[in-house]
Amino acid sequence: WKLTHSPSWVVISGASQGETYLSHSNEFCVWNHPVELHVACRQLEGWPRIEVEVRGIDHHGRHQVVGYGMTHLPSRPGSHVVTIPTWRPVGATFFDRLRRIFIGAAPELLPNSKLGEHGSARFGLRTEDTARVELHLDVVLQYFEHHNLDVG
């Protein structure tokens, strides 16, 4: 996972990116990975978003990307459940799909690709929907009312 935002935001404390641990399941994985961040802003432009990259192991034991996803963090204080739909690039031809199945050569995004920059990283790619990531978030806003900021 990685927190991304515009230059008007700054991370005061906490890690802005990290990895979870491996979970073995065919249907549903629980990572229970706590993240605590304290961010500040000079303006509301470029609201923070969280990007995820889900990796898995196929039935041959190969590590592959299961999906990429992104969502903006909630702008209202309180507890929130946010679902991030994930997707992955697929080959353009039937031969490309066979390569992924039999030798594990699946297309991936470049390591520094930004999922939320300039629309979606999916634009122009052939993709398929994959998994969903469910986040349970608690948001606290401080000094917004004092500065007459309405996040609406």
Alpha helices (H) in 6-145, listed in sequence order: 94-103
Q: Are 130 and 67 in contact (CB under 8 A)?
A: yes
Give the side-chain half-sphere CA count within 13 A for 51: 18
Q: What pLDDT score does 71 carry?
A: 92
Q: Is the pTM of this model over 0.75?
A: yes
Q: Which positions ≥6 away from 12 have C-beta within 8 Å?
A: 38, 39, 40
Q: Are 34 and 20 in contact (CB under 8 A)?
A: no
Q: What pLDDT score does 81 carry?
A: 94
Q: What pLDDT score does 122 carry?
A: 59
Q: What pLDDT score does 48 carry?
A: 92
Q: Are 86 and 132 in contact (CB under 8 A)?
A: yes
Q: Which two tokens stand for residue 38?
A: 């304290």
- What Cα–Cα distance (Å) separates residue 65 from each residue in 44, 48, 68, 72, 124? 33, 24, 8, 22, 19
Torsion of CA 145, 41, 109, 123, to 10 degrees: 60
Q: Which positions ≥6 away from 109 have C-beta within 8 Å?
A: 68, 89, 115, 121
Q: What pLDDT score does 152 carry?
A: 61
pLDDT, averaged per 10 consecutive residues of the chain (152 residues), comes to 90 90 68 85 87 82 83 92 88 76 70 57 74 90 74 64
Place of tokens 């998994």: 131
